[in-house]
Amino acid sequence: MTISEFQKLIEEIYFARDSARGRDASFVWFVEEVGELAKALLRPKDDGGKNLRDEFADVLAWLTTIASIAGVDLEAAAVAKYKDGCPKCRATPCIC
């Protein structure tokens, strides 16, 4: 699945509710999910990594929905910024 396909999927599942909530309130949810990811990274559960995978997926989904609310094509934005390597030095890997 591409980033664009994932963004469309998240829009199908959540866009109506998330856009009604608004960008700012959805951003607060995103920050909460980042906090949950931080906890999972610092104190991983002995569950074969399921919790960590779930938290990464939640952060990605919330980031994606905020991009949709803001009218940003997440894949196009990421490619435009990083297609030539590091945005500062243009090297891959970065040599800054």
pTM of structure? 0.91
Cβ pair 66, 29 in contact under 8 A: no
Classify domain 3-82 by CATH number.
Answer: 1.10.287.1080
Number of Cβ atoms within 10 Å of the Cβ of 75: 16
pLDDT for 44: 85
* Sequence ranges of the domains in the chain: 3-82
* pLDDT computed for residue 32 by the predictor: 97
Helix (H) or strand (E) holding 12: helix 3-21
Q: What is the pLDDT of residues 14-46, one digit of tens each?
A: 999 999 999 999 999 999 999 999 999 999 888
* 74-93 pLDDT, tens digit each: 999 999 999 999 999 999 99
Q: Give counts: helices (H), strands (E), the chain.
A: 4, 0
